[in-house]
Amino acid sequence: MLMHTNVSPVQLQLTLYARRKKHLRAFMVALLLAVILLLVGLQAGSFKQSIGILFEALSHKLNQRALSQEQYLQWYVFSELRAPRIFMAMFVGALLAMSGCAMQGLVRNPLADPGLIGISGGAAAAAATALALINHYPQLAVGGQYLIALSAFVGALLAVWVVLIVARTPAGMAISSLILAGVAVNALAGTHIGAISYMANDDALRQITYWTMGSLGGVTWSKVLFVGALSLPIIGLFMHLRQPLNLFALGENEAQCMGLEVSKYKRLILWLVAFSVALATALCGIIGFVGLVVPHIARTLFSADHKYLMPACGALGAILMLGADAASRALFPPLEIPIGIVTSAVGAPFFLYLLAKQKAGGVNA
Amino acid sequence: MLNLQNISLSHGAFTLLDGLNLSLSSGDFMTVIGENGCGKSTLLRCIAGLHASYSGNVTFGQRSVDAWPAKLLAKARAFVNQHNQVQFAFLTEEVLQLGRINQHENLAQSSALICQVAEQLSIGHLFGRDVRTLSGGERQRVFIAKALVQLLPNANEAKTERDFEGKLLLLDEPTSALDFRFQKAMMDVIKGFCQQGLGVMCVSHDINLVLPYATHVILLANGRCLAQGSAGSVITAQNLHQCFGVMPKLIPQANSVPYITH
């Protein structure tokens, strides 16, 4: 024995239990906040929803009585326009934030973003191509929406695939070459979009620009169900990655020595991130900074331990997107600002603040 | 417990390890000594299973180290790197908790084991601190503690005096950042675990510190073994001269391990 430091196992156990309880409480507060934002989100926008009339409409529907015109209108806006949007916002927010959390954990850098490995660049380039094609060949416009979503999805995965191929070495995937390859692929995608924009007519140009700003407009229940059905297993997988990410935080060698199959998990994390961001981007366009900022906020509010961080990111991502969606409708009614602008307007300054803080302190949250 | 047969590793035209043979039993404390870049860390990494491209056999507990399931291996051997960095705000006790990641046990059981090790390495007062704010020496103690926590059997397995039987601890300069007091204290603690069956392989430049603890010494030069055996037989002025290229002075001590000076 070296020194008497009085660590009591009971005390440590109690501390750990207390921490778990504290995080659980914070999580509950987050959920409460989500509910409040949900109600605010309902109200936001050019059309005012009345909770009272909605309840009346609901009870009439349940009792199979006819709705008045006012009730019908309220119900229609709620069930066909606002509600699917709100669900979509939550799913997309959770996916993007959890992807950001996994990405930062994997590369061990709190300034990493899923876009780093070329996902959004690839998606944007492919979507821009599809938009220009649709504009040029009107006969494609029938399934246009789906064509755009599909090509964005495929483009995103293609970009990631190229990045992973380039970064592959005999000893496994090298994180530094991963990021450099991502930079190159993003630049290539930017050039491609530039070329298409240069050749496109005004109409296509506006659509491309609008797409790259992200939007939750035009969300239908079928899209929500589609995303929801895919999101649940993805979120489950992200939750499964919590302890592996904790080990990654100690470094790859350390993780390997502690029994983690590092290269297998690295691939799993990268493809999972790619798949979920591609999914979100394909349906809603580019929504920046959620994946970067939310893990930071969650780390400050909760803990760096991914056991708590991962679910916290899911909840906060959903909340942030709900808020951003409400803001995008409420700021300049009847105009609706693209949601990507809202998230970037909040996220980019926050990112600068983080950079400045990191430079000043050398330690980041 | 650990057996190396004809281990060689080269990187392009550069030979890192060249036909090494050695064996280690439970309770042994082996010290690896050699000049900078002679392959000490590479050797440890091969044994840890971090290098895949070597030739020869590393047998650990009756099977090849590469044939072990990763999680099982992690319970039987731990590796303390020379440099340990954590990028996020993990607390000391959270890092130690990660050492129990492959065990099926409750929080009370893991807390008891963690506190036991923390007390022996006197890092209990660092609980609640962000590991990034610890000093180099404090962090080194935390990571050695984490490695020991990783090797401890869980409460369901029979508790004996030989808790560490068949387990292997690989240390890459474990005392490089430690102060005068903790250098010796750390060695005492690790030696204590050796008496419970732990096999230790320790790379160190602090020859005078580790030699009195070593049951085996191996001298490396250019990836080759110059000499191995007990400290008394390996540590001669001639061997050290061959290894480091300078002639040391050996001052005889009471415990038959000489004190080495320039």
- Reported as a single tens digit per residue, the pLDDT across A69-106 is 888 888 888 888 888 988 999 999 999 999 999 999 99
Higher-pLDDT residue of B254 and B70 is B70
- Res A365: pLDDT: 41
A1 interaction partners in chain B (CB closer than 8 Å):
119-120
Q: What's the CATH fold of domain B2-261?
A: Rossmann fold (3.40.50)
CB contact under 8 A, B89 and A171: no
Q: Work out the pLDDT band at A360, boundaries 50, 70, 90.
A: low
Q: Work out the pLDDT band at B164, boundaries 50, 70, 90.
A: confident
Q: Find the CB nearest B107 among A7, A13, A260.
A: A13
Residue A358 has pLDDT above 70, yes or no: no
- Res A7: pLDDT: 65
- Res A6: pLDDT: 58
Here the tokens at position A10 are 């009971």
Mean pLDDT of B48-69: 88
Mean pLDDT of A23-35: 81
Higher-pLDDT residue of A361 and A210 is A210
For chain A, the average pLDDT equals 85
The architecture (CATH level 2) of A81-354 comes to: Orthogonal Bundle (1.10)
Here the tokens at position A114 are 């899923």
Residue A326 has pLDDT above 90, yes or no: no
Q: What percent of chain A has pLDDT over 90?
A: 34
* Distance between CA atoms of residues A352 and A239, nearest Å: 29
B123 interaction partners in chain A (CB closer than 8 Å):
5
Q: A297 CA to chain B: closest CA distance, Å?
A: 13
Cα distances (angstroms) measured from residue B136 to each of B132, B172, B176, B205: 9, 15, 9, 17
Residues A172, A263 contacting (CB under 8 angstroms)? yes
Residue B169 has pLDDT above 80, yes or no: yes
Model confidence pLDDT, tens digit, residues B86-112 = 888 899 999 999 999 999 888 888 888
Mean pLDDT of A170-196: 87
CB contact under 8 A, A7 and B99: no
Model confidence pLDDT, tens digit, residues B205-236 = 999 999 999 999 999 998 899 999 998 889 99
Mean pLDDT of B14-24: 91
A10 interaction partners in chain B (CB closer than 8 Å):
111
> How would you class B69 by CB atoms within 10 Å of its CB: exposed for 0-12, middle for 13-18, buried for 19 or more?
exposed
Residues A131, A148 contacting (CB under 8 angstroms)? yes
Q: To probe the interface with A, which of B111, B127, B172 has the most A CB atoms within 10 Å?
A: B111
Mean pLDDT of B125-139: 91
Q: Does residue B141 belong to the interface with chain A, where contact is any CB pair within 8 Å?
A: no
Provide the CB-side half-sphere exposure for A176 (13 A, CA): 0
Mean pLDDT of A32-45: 77
Taking alpha carbons only, the member of B226, B255, B213, B261 closest to residue B29 is B213
CB contact under 8 A, B50 and A16: no
Q: Does residue B157 belong to the interface with chain A, where contact is any CB pair within 8 Å?
A: no
Q: A249 CA to chain B: closest CA distance, Å?
A: 6
> How would you class A182 by CB atoms within 10 Å of its CB: exposed for 0-12, middle for 13-18, buried for 19 or more?
buried
For chain A, the first-to-last Cα distance in angstroms comes to 35
Output phi, psi for B19, to 5 deg: 60, 55
Residues A176, A140 contacting (CB under 8 angstroms)? no
Q: Could you check whether the bond before residue A334 is cis, i.e. omega within 30 degrees of 0? A: yes
Residue A3 has pLDDT above 70, yes or no: no
Model confidence pLDDT, tens digit, residues A206-235 = 888 888 888 888 888 989 999 999 999 999
Which residues make beta-bridge pairs with B11? B14
The CA angle B188-B194-B199, to the nearest 5 degrees, is 130
B125 interaction partners in chain A (CB closer than 8 Å):
5
Question: pTM to 2 decimals?
Answer: 0.89
CB contact under 8 A, A5 and B119: yes
For chain B, the average pLDDT equals 90
Residue A361 has pLDDT above 80, yes or no: no
Q: At what angle do helices A119-136 and A144-167 cross, to 10 degrees?
A: 140
Q: Find the CB nearest A299 among B84, B89, B128.
A: B89
**Domain boundaries along the sequence of chain A:** 81-354
CB contact under 8 A, B81 and A251: yes
Q: Work out the pLDDT band at A1, boundaries 50, 70, 90.
A: very low
- Res B158: pLDDT: 64
Model confidence pLDDT, tens digit, residues A270-304 = 999 999 999 999 888 889 889 998 998 888 888 88
Cα distances (angstroms) measured from residue A69 to each of A46, A52, A72, B45: 19, 15, 5, 75
- Res B2: pLDDT: 93
**Domain boundaries along the sequence of chain B:** 2-261
Helix (H), strand (E), coil (C) string for A86-142: HHHHHHHHHHHHHHHHHHHHHHCCCCCCHHHHCHHHHHHHHHHHHHHHHHHCHHHHH
Here the tokens at position B187 are 């060695």
Residue A364 has pLDDT above 60, yes or no: no
